[in-house]
Structures are given as structure tokens and as C-alpha cells.
Structure 1
Amino acid sequence: MRVLLIGVGTVGEAIARLSAAADWCEAMVLADYDESRARTLAGAIGDPERFPAIKLDARDAANVSEAARAHRVDLVMNAVDPQFVMPIFTGALEAGCHYMDMAMSLSKPHPDRPFELPGLKLGDEQFEMHDAWVGRGKLALVGMGMDPGLTDVFAAHAAKHSVDEVHEVHVRDGGDLEIPGFA
């Protein structure tokens, strides 16, 4: 599989380093707005042909689709801030690629009555494009997140490659959102 990994910060770097040892990964284009960050990671992985580095401004869907086509990728993996979800999501669809992200399209208040009516909820913009993805025969996995998603990947990797034995894995999460009236 050929992947366009957009964002090589902490999460993107982990994805790239784990993928470097995977047989399924034919190539992974390391794309970031800060090209030096992508080049540094590519150098650390040490396989520039399989892990090329490019500069990519993910604020524009056309940039995403152009990079995906130019590198003939099968999957666009979004590992950047959620504010960039929609242009990357749309660009992947335009390029005819599968898609995966860590977050989802952001919620937005109702334009006229924000304190009385719900606006767009988390993920609504992506879910509204369901039929377009089905029509293209492409899969979009959204909201794969840090936990449980990536946390499970890290735990499985550690269990397989870093320690002799695992009995339990405990995950601590900083989120403690409570909504009065809901259990």
C-alpha cells in the first residue's frame, strides 16, 4: 500500500516509524507544512526512496489531491490538527484515495440561533459525504483517535517488540468532560 501521511508531528512520526517495519507499507510520503520536519523524519527512518519527504499546505483540498495523485497513493492518512480535516478529507476523495484520520470534522454553532438550536455536530460534515465515498468505492475511517485507537497500536507494538510479557495495559486520559443530567 502507498500512503500519503499528512502531518509528521508526534502522532505522524509514530505512524511513520511503525510503518517502516511493516510489510504492507510499499511507500509512505511524509508530508508536512514544515518540510524540514518531514525531511528530518525521513532521514531518521533512513529509506528516502520508500519514505520521501514533501512540503504540503493541507489548508487546500487541491494541494492534497495533487500530492496524492503525484505519488500514486492508495490511502491519505491525516495526522494533523482537526481544523484541517475537511480539506484533507475532500482532497483524498477528489484523488480517489481511501482515507483515515485521528479526529473528525469540528462542530460549529447554529448560524442564527447558537444558544437554542444545535449546529453541526462533531463529524457531521464528513458523514454528509458518505454517499460520495460509497459512490467512488472508497473507504473513509474517521475519528480513529489517540485512545483507544492509536493507544492500542502503541500498546500492541510495545507488547510485541519491547517487553517480554504483558498482563495489563492502563490508559490515562486527560478528558473528564461531565454534562450535568447525563450519567
Structure 2
Amino acid sequence: DWLREQFAELETDRADSFIDAVLALDVTTLIVDDPVKRVDNMTMAFGLEARVPFLDHELVETAAAMPPHLKLGDGGKDVLRRIARGRLPDAVMDRPKGYFPVPALKYVRGDFLEFMRDILTSRASRERGLYQPAYIDKLLDAPDQYFTRIQGSKLWHAALLEYWLQTHVDR
């Protein structure tokens, strides 16, 4: 009922088409606190400043004013791709979509837990002296119990840092 009411209001007030109503609802309700807040929380937790350039209000307003058929082309990225073509290398423009696989950070188990155990108990890690062995043992013994203040796995953070150091510094 709530959704129907929202769509009815949007279609009469400021949306010329169903896609405009969906996008208006998305902008006014669903993403208000989601991507920006996530970026903000993640960066502030580590003393970093970040920008979300595609949420610049002038760009969003311009995109919202485009005809509906332009908003849907190429999975919604047609206009952006047209603008970027010739400005970015073709290899960047035409590569397949990538992804950044992230394990279930709260519930690390199985092979991935053993991978982290190997990294954190390795000779390189011990010699580095960055971690207290007793604390690492505590994390490894109960990987589902120790979280950062933004609910990330402390074990994951330690293992990721150590893996990066072993991969990029210890060469």
C-alpha cells in the first residue's frame, strides 16, 4: 500500500513516466542514507575523506531530466559510456564487468579461515611483530565473535593487512 501511494504521488507530481517514478522514489527514499552513508562510515572510520562524484547534485538533476529511453539504454549506462568513449581507452570501455569478491566477513569458515590462519601464523607475520600472537590466536579460535566498531571482522582486517604486506612489501 505504501509503495502504491508513493508511486501515485510521484506519477502525478514530478514523474512523466513509470521509470521516472521508480527513479524518483529511489532517489528520495532508498538511496538517501545508503551509498553515501556507507562510503562516509567506511572512510571516516579510518580517517579518510572520499567523494561520490556521480551523486553531484547537478549531474543527478541533469540525468533526471533526460528522456526515459536514455535512462535505460545499455543497462542504464549508455549516456555515460557515450560521454566517456574517446576520453577513456577502449580497453577500459569495452572490458567485461568486474567484481570485487568479498567473503562473508562476519562468518569466516572453512578454506578461507585456514587461508587466513596460514597468513597470520606464517613466519613472515611472526617476524614482522605487528600482531600479538595471543590476540591472533583468540581471533582465530572464535572468528565470528570479534568485530570492528562498524561490524567488520577483526580477523579479516588483520589477515588482509598481513596478506597485503606479504604480497607487496616482503618481495
The structure with the greater share of residues assigned to strand is 1
* TM-score bucket (shorter structure): under 0.3
Instruction: Report the structure number with the largest CA radius of gyration.
Output: 2
Higher relative contact order (CA 8 A, sep 6+): 1
Alignment TM-score, normalising by the size of structure 2: 0.27
